[in-house]
Amino acid sequence: AMPPADFVLLPRDLPWERAYDREDANAPQIAKLRLTLPADYPAGTVLKLPMPCACSEHTSRFTKIKAGTSVIIKWDLGICGLAAPPGADGAAAGGAEVAEATEAARPPPAGLEKGVELALAEPADATAQLNSELSSS
């Protein structure tokens, strides 16, 4: 049997939300995140979470205090801002639709807009090239 690791590494795409109800108005830089763990790890387990922060390079280590799959961790926004929680963009549209959209792997609207710009830009370039070839011959 392998020796237990010093900590359990949690998946990066762990469901989470801001626990605004647990945050302290006097400490606005300390965000609290409510995480849904993939398993009910025993109390005392050290968990390591790839933080859903703006640069997604930070990790947070914390010790699980009580039983259950819901934990609240603190995060100092002075270190790094938080990314939007999963499903936050389409929260108004209803969770089910958001889930379907991600499974279908449709590109986000921003990507589509960029695609349109590129498509418009390309024919213009092609015409410019044709004109320059015509004029040089």
pLDDT by residue, tens only, the chain of 137 residues: 665 568 999 999 899 999 999 999 999 999 999 999 999 999 999 999 999 999 989 999 999 999 999 999 999 999 999 998 776 554 433 334 344 444 445 555 554 455 455 555 555 555 555 555 665 55
DSSP string, the chain: -PPPPSSEEPPTT--EEE-GGG--TT-TTEEEEEEE-SS-PPTT-EEEEE--BSSS--EEEEE--SSSSEEEEEEETTT-PBPPPTT-TTGGG-HHHHHHHHHTTPPPHHHHHHHHHHHHHHHHHHHHHHHHHHHH-
pLDDT for the residue 98: 40
pLDDT for the residue 96: 41
pLDDT for the residue 84: 83
The closest alpha carbon to 79, from 105, 97, 60, belongs to 60
pLDDT for the residue 102: 43
Q: Any idea which residue has 């990066």 for tokens?
A: 12
